[in-house]
Structure 1
């Protein structure tokens, strides 16, 4: 079994902490006085610093310490989290990530400049002037009032499982030493003999005599992240009795771990906790530990491999079911049905493990909007809806780049400058909404802005200029908007770092179509635009409808099927030359798949029409036979078939033969084109 690299574990944990830090900083930009957000940011910094020191990332620990020292003034309410401070703090967060990902190629001069700028901003805010950006000035600004008396007596008793939770008490003792001169006494009464010793269980308690100019709050801050995992007693040294040194062991601690949480308790409440440790009564701690929801970090490659194995199992199960139903052995049929039930449950469970909330993706774009808003001078409110909507992890990964392009376009091209919006009824602050929701077996992701909308005349003029359409040719608004997805097409008047080169929307369309999705574009001039992405829940296994056309068998994704009807002789007579059906008063165009696939032989006398939907469009697909539902394991087509647009993949049937999966979006588009070119008005 492969052992997990400890440094890789740190990188994964640090990545989550940095994401939390970025989210807290961005939220602070909106609500600078939110103490919970300030504590969350400080907690993330403190944990990264301790973890970095433990895993040998000394540059990370040193830089984060300077960052934390500066940010501590915000936490203590001496200055507020102004926009300039948030901007520099975000740059500091990026530098920490660079130090963790690639420390050798990270220039230390950049880190020094970031710290100096942050310290200068904070020192200026703390003093109200232009203080020198030095640590000395910073420390002076954050000096605390000395406590009454000669110092403090601190008694510490941790929960037995605190080491398992990632906390090293020696780090906390070192943090106390940073506040002043300390005499640390360890109590070893509860430590068992060597044979019964558990190295992951904390059985030591401490008493600390602290001499220094610090307040009770400073001491409590040291333990602020271990509140639920310890007993803490603090009393002025002049009022406390002498330390019991019957069995003292002075501890020399080293900074080697991370910090977690603390609850304050009077000194006299600590003795029962020490006695409990001496008798080894840990049942309550164990019970609480069992009640906690645990998670396991799994490599994405292992999930992909598991999904492949499940796919092969589904194919094998389909073959077994077909063999069982072709025979007369009832026992074999019973076993086949049981395996089918188990395979179906395993498939659903595996796909559930792969499902990831959209919030994990949406959170990435807050920083993008923040930076673009600042760079372009366009204040923008970024709103997300439907963060709990889940999508396959592979889909999430592929969706990131298209959404980056769409959000950049919305801010750069859609949202007007504040002075332009000031002359309208709109707020000077633009608005972009990123939303996700379920629609059947699909997920709809929308990017909506309240900008100026699309200028159809300008898009058409640019298309005519590039020779994409003849001047004066009749085009619908939908057809004009489709030019935006043409490679190299751009309406930007000048080339900038964000736009003007015509690279972006064509990539978005290709990526979405490769995910078996579609992209729709709607706009209201003067009021904004909405881009809608329609995506399947997964790219791995889907429920399909198995059909026959001629001698060939095909799969239609069941999520796209609305209903099935029979193509009667009367329908045939009414539809000749027009290819329309009347479905409850609505005209629905249909395609004869026999003609489309050039199938040989005579058509079945009782053909069926499968009514499919894609967005607001419907189309009927005429087939010879509907065989039934089928668990479809999607296999990608080879590069040789890249130009075959009517099929999105293939699958293996129970008898070992292959069946192509129809791309309903492409068929709907084809049907729409044929409908527009047919005399539909006569049929009405």
Structure 2
């Protein structure tokens, strides 16, 4: 088995760090004095810088070094976290992403321009002391103490630490840690070599030396703890106060434990290595490892460690990082596993069909046991593929932030249902449609501040992004409290484009669906956000490819809501196997409401599309024999499958209902790509193929056919 590529692992971890940095900065925009958020941003930058240098991303390390310096000044209280500084840091974060993902295409001049504007923002936000000199010096150089730090009493601390054996192999450099201790004040360091074995037993990759440092500094104990912030999970550390003043704070106790990152970005810090005085000191065994309380959100900075323990989950924007017991697995392996489970389901279906002809109870018992195990394996595999949709929702905070600045509007993003789980493939393909819907809500829906105030609305507009389960589907809604859809303008543009006959009376539901037509736009002018008539047709096409549907509601002056109905997964579904003529088809079970019998009276009443009386409600039905041009005579007792589609109930007339079927979805070939009534195919137990009906498309096709018949008649 090949070992993971450390460069690719770094890129994955950096992606998570950048996402967490973005969330932290967006939270900081609302709470600019929150020390936890400021520390979290600084540590994320520090980790990216250190890990980047460790793995040869020197441009990343050099660029991030300057941004880190800015947040070090904010952390020390010398610079205010202004809105402009946060916006520029977000732009710097985008540049870091480019330097990591596509370094050859990253524009160095653009990065220099960002740093220049960042320096100007720092100078404008400086509190009392000019910041330019400190930015030039960088975080490795001792920055002048703030007024608060200067007033602090000088204290002496004894710091005893021993790194994990593999510290050197994972890129940590203990001499750079000692350098950072010396930067805090006056430090005397001695080494403990008592655990170094004889030369013949020595592994040169192991770190076996311990250290004891006496540090006299005006900095608080937290500053000493942060030197070891990214090594705390596996190292031994004790910090004791030597003077009475420090002891009064209870600092003599070992540092409290709290999981953080398991490898060091300090190894890539700036400055020359310090020389420790080597003298064998047999100080007492430190005992269990200890770690300080930390507010750092974000994953371990070591890509090697990240392969075993993925990123921690940020809580409340910048809560304590918490190690996860999960493992990081490449997405393609999950896809392969799902494919193999699908083949197992097909093989079991064949076995079940074969054993139906035998009366041996032992064989049937084994088949039932295999069915149970296959079902459990399928459920487990599906569970692995399911992800909370919050991983997608988090991306749109930055989108709304940028839209708010670009449009000059106050816009808030409100999300709910982030814990709702959906197949990872569906989540990946939802990103672009949701971007288009949110852009439309911000650009066309939310009014400018003055108009909202005049209309008696809050000055800040709201875009609501919600998700919830509804049976075997997930509903995702994008709503706004803006002006609502302009019905008259939509109809006028639809008439111009020939989509609606002039003066025709069209229901709101039918009219609002026209906004998803290719090239349709009501914008009066083209901007960098909208107006070209592209985007909404992409939304419709993508959702239909996912076997989903779209519903639009709008109230003039109060806002609009677009709801996407999506299947939980695209791999294996429960279906209802039916027969029409000699062909067999699968109807997704999630769309099925009930089955009724088509009486001879109802069958003879008329041809084409007819109506059934279902408990007092008239339900239209479609004869699938006519849709599929079946030439065999119909069964004497046909069945009607009542399905839900496009917010209405429709019946599908079939010859026979065979039963439920575990359906492994296979894509249709390119030759059948234009056949819209089918969403895929599946292999039955006898090896034959059954087509999977696309219920919304089938219903739409039946409605269009009826309209043509009415027009011709």
TM-score (norm 2): 0.83
- 1:473 alignment partner in structure 2: 504
SS at match of 1:453: coil
SS at match of 1:473: coil
- 2:441 equivalent among 388, 405, 410: 410
> CA–CA distance in 2 between the matches of 1:674 and 1:588?
17
> CA–CA distance in 1 between the matches of 2:607 and 2:116?
79
- 1:110 alignment partner in structure 2: 110
> CA–CA distance in 1 between the matches of 2:531 and 2:372?
55
SS at match of 1:475: coil
Matches within 5 A, 1:574-585: 579-585=610-616
Contact 1:517 1:535 in 2 (8 A): yes
Asked if residue 536 in structure 1 is aligned to residue 541 in structure 2, the reply is no
Contact 1:185 1:206 in 2 (8 A): yes
Q: What whole-Å deviation, never above 9, does each CA across 1:616-674 have from its counterpart, x for those lacking one?
A: 31111111111111111111112222221111111110001100101111133345567
- Alignment CA distance shift 1:47-1:560 (3 Å): same
SS at match of 1:103: coil
Asked if residue 390 in structure 1 is aligned to residue 421 in structure 2, the reply is yes
- 1:332 equivalent among 363, 367, 370: 363
- Alignment CA distance shift 1:276-1:198 (3 Å): farther
- Alignment CA distance shift 1:78-1:614 (3 Å): farther
- 2:74 alignment partner in structure 1: 74
SS at match of 1:71: helix
- 2:407 equivalent among 376, 380, 390: 376
> CA–CA distance in 2 between the matches of 1:213 and 1:96?
34
- 1:233 alignment partner in structure 2: 239
1:181 positional shift: 5.8
- 1:274 alignment partner in structure 2: 286
> CA–CA distance in 2 between the matches of 1:409 and 1:26?
22
> CA–CA distance in 1 between the matches of 2:430 and 2:386?
14
Q: What whole-Å deviation, never above 9, does each CA across 1:376-427 have from its counterpart, x for those lacking one?
A: 0011010111111111111111111111111111111111111111211211
When structure 1 is superposed on structure 2, of 399-408 and 331-340 the one drifting more is 331-340
Asked if residue 624 in structure 1 is aligned to residue 655 in structure 2, the reply is yes
Q: What whole-Å deviation, never above 9, does each CA across 1:520-571 have from its counterpart, x for those lacking one?
A: 1111011111011111111111111100111111000011111112223454
SS at match of 1:56: coil
Stretches of structure 1 that go unaligned for 5 or more consecutive residues are 241-252, 260-269, 278-288, 680-684
Tell me how large the CA RMSD over aligned residues is: 3.3
Matches within 5 A, 1:111-510: 111-127=111-127, 132=132, 135=135, 139-140=143-144, 142=146, 144-145=149-150, 152-158=156-162, 160=164, 163=167, 168=172, 170=174, 171-180=176-185, 182-192=187-197, 204-210=209-215, 214=219, 216-224=221-229, 230-235=236-241, 256=267, 273-274=285-286, 293-510=324-541
Q: What whole-Å deviation, never above 9, does each CA across 1:356-387 have from its counterpart, x for those lacking one?
A: 11011111111111001101001101011111
- 2:312 alignment partner in structure 1: none
1:590 positional shift: 1.2
> CA–CA distance in 1 between the matches of 2:481 and 2:237?
54
> CA–CA distance in 2 between the matches of 1:308 and 1:70?
49
- 1:39 alignment partner in structure 2: 39
SS at match of 1:443: strand
Contact 1:146 1:215 in 2 (8 A): no
Contact 2:51 2:265 in 1 (8 A): no
Contact 1:60 1:96 in 2 (8 A): yes
Contact 1:541 1:631 in 2 (8 A): yes
When structure 1 is superposed on structure 2, of 390-399 and 50-59 the one drifting more is 50-59
1:220 positional shift: 3.6
> CA–CA distance in 2 between the matches of 1:403 and 1:440?
22
> CA–CA distance in 1 between the matches of 2:236 and 2:288?
13
When structure 1 is superposed on structure 2, of 154-163 and 372-381 the one drifting more is 154-163
Q: What whole-Å deviation, never above 9, does each CA across 1:422-441 have from its counterpart, x for those lacking one?
A: 21121111000111111111
Contact 2:80 2:127 in 1 (8 A): no
Contact 1:167 1:258 in 2 (8 A): no
> CA–CA distance in 2 between the matches of 1:126 and 1:271?
46
- 1:3 alignment partner in structure 2: 3
When structure 1 is superposed on structure 2, of 387-396 and 578-587 the one drifting more is 578-587
Aligned length: 644
SS at match of 1:346: helix
Asked if residue 633 in structure 1 is aligned to residue 664 in structure 2, the reply is yes
- Alignment CA distance shift 1:417-1:447 (3 Å): same
SS at match of 1:427: coil
Contact 2:168 2:207 in 1 (8 A): no
Contact 2:78 2:127 in 1 (8 A): no
> CA–CA distance in 1 between the matches of 2:133 and 2:113?
11
> CA–CA distance in 2 between the matches of 1:257 and 1:177?
16
Q: What whole-Å deviation, never above 9, does each CA across 1:55-105 have from its counterpart, x for those lacking one?
A: 122222232222122102323344442211110110111111112112233
Contact 2:468 2:474 in 1 (8 A): yes
Stretches of structure 2 that go unaligned for 5 or more consecutive residues are 247-263, 271-281, 290-308, 310-321
- 1:545 equivalent among 554, 563, 576: 576
> CA–CA distance in 1 between the matches of 2:425 and 2:585?
25
- Alignment CA distance shift 1:213-1:35 (3 Å): closer
1:485 positional shift: 1.4
Contact 1:402 1:507 in 2 (8 A): yes
